[in-house]
Structure 1
Amino acid sequence: MSGRRSSGRRPGASTTREELIDAARQEFSEHGVTGATTRRIAARAGVDPGMIRHHFGSKAGLWQAALELPVEPGRFLAAARTAPHDEVARVMLATLLRGWDSPLGGAFRAVIRSAVQDPVYADRAREFLLARAIMPVVRRVAPEAQGAAADPAVLAERASLAASQVTGLVLARYILRIEPLASAEHDWILDRIAPTVQGYLTGPLAGAPDPRS
């Protein structure tokens, strides 16, 4: 593993802690919180398993630290909050894809995988996807949000439908590895999925009156 030691303490408490967090993000993204083991996490980090207990108390404590994303979702999706209304879905998905395919991607994928495996962790995924990422975009671009009295139920419907596409994309591309989606270039994905998400964000909803009419 790139010259890392399989055991023994690394110099510097902060370095060891960050190594464990990085390793845990990889482990949780691959195996979820249920399948991950502290022994494998420690081996990835090149430290003794006792360092997990020393720094985090338990695997659950390490999970919490690993899912403290280095980038605040609001800042991460800032581009989607300023994009033209008719381009917001493509901008949002492009930003997410870049994040998922970056060194930060393990933390994002760990949120989804852990939520699927254990309902206890689903609140974290919902809070990230809805309250902190998608809902602020919905409040900005949804037709219902442009009037004086936006309907919270309609905004929640739009956010949940957009979230269904986002989570489905994560599961299919990164966890289930369904081809050709798993290996596709970003533009290929955006051309096929962004129009659907755009419809959920700004288009007419079935059975709901068009607030622009």
Structure 2
Amino acid sequence: MIGRRPGRSTTRDELVEAARHEFAERGVEGATTRRIAARAGVDPGMIRHHFGSKAGLWQAVLELPFDPFRLAAPVRHAPPEEVGRVLVSTMLDLWEGPLGVGFRAMLRSAVQDPGYADGIRQFLLSRAIMPVVRRVAPESRDGEPDPERLAQRASLAASQVIGLIMARYFLRLEPLASADHEWVVAHVAPTVQHYLTGPIVDDRNE
């Protein structure tokens, strides 16, 4: 049984490095905690000890200062008819709060590094966006949801939120940049709400 090594522990760093290679080779879904631990030469329990879960380890690999799953809790718990408003309002509060610095660093890195952007996209989709889409999309209530349709809804909703962030905080487009939260939510949330719960044109059979 491989356990904690004697002396000054570098287990956490070794797990992050092993995970970085496993995620790159097998993807987030394909990489397992057992393989990552074996690559680092430690017991799999060390992942739980240092990171809590594979998602926590992935967060450490990306050097994210937050867990999107926890930050998205208000959105996941919002009534389906209010999810667009809660999503936009939550993003504005987070971006302008203490975590805003981490968000800005993350977005800059994603723009500059395609590999990092791919990791961020996978992590945000799996931890923050898709849980919301699966819960509120009409397809989820009508039967077995179509993964392609859920992906369409997720990407369209994300495009609105990311576009809002770029226009308001990076490009500083007026009057959007100086508008109060209520104005922004009133004008952006209906579009986000439509993408999450409204009808989506199906052109796949045309």
Unaligned runs of 5+ in 2: 1-59
1:176 offset after TM fit, Å? Answer: 1.2
Letter in 1 for 2:64: E
Do the aligned partners of residues 68 and 206 (structure 1) sit closer, same or farther apart at CA in structure 2, a change above 3 Å counting? same
1:132 offset after TM fit, Å? Answer: 1.5
Aligned residues: 145
- Superimposed CA distance per residue, residues 88-125 of structure 1 (whole angstroms, 9 cap, x where no aligned partner): 01111111110000110111122222212221221233
Matches within 5 A, 1:31-110: 67-70=63-66, 72-110=67-105
1:208 offset after TM fit, Å? Answer: 6.4
Letter in 2 for 1:162: A
1:174 offset after TM fit, Å? Answer: 1.2
- 1:46 corresponding residue in structure 2: none
- 1:111 corresponding residue in structure 2: 106
- 2:189 corresponding residue in structure 1: 194
- 1:181 corresponding residue in structure 2: 176
Letter in 2 for 1:94: S
- 2:152 corresponding residue in structure 1: 157
Whole-angstrom CA distance in 1 between matches of 2:122 and 2:65: 13
Whole-angstrom CA distance in 2 between matches of 1:207 and 1:85: 22
1:65 offset after TM fit, Å? Answer: 7.6
Whole-angstrom CA distance in 1 between matches of 2:102 and 2:65: 7
Whole-angstrom CA distance in 2 between matches of 1:105 and 1:169: 14
Whole-angstrom CA distance in 2 between matches of 1:69 and 1:161: 25
Partners of 2:168 and 2:176 within 8 A in 1: yes
- 1:168 corresponding residue in structure 2: 163
Partners of 1:159 and 1:201 within 8 A in 2: yes
> Which contiguous aligned blocks of 4+ residues in structure 1 show a shift greater than 4 angstroms?
none
Letter in 1 for 2:180: E
TM-score (normalizing by structure 1): 0.63
Letter in 1 for 2:152: E
Whole-angstrom CA distance in 1 between matches of 2:113 and 2:61: 18
CA RMSD of aligned residues (A): 2.0
Unaligned runs of 5+ in 1: 1-63
Partners of 1:158 and 1:201 within 8 A in 2: yes
SS class of match (2:143)? coil
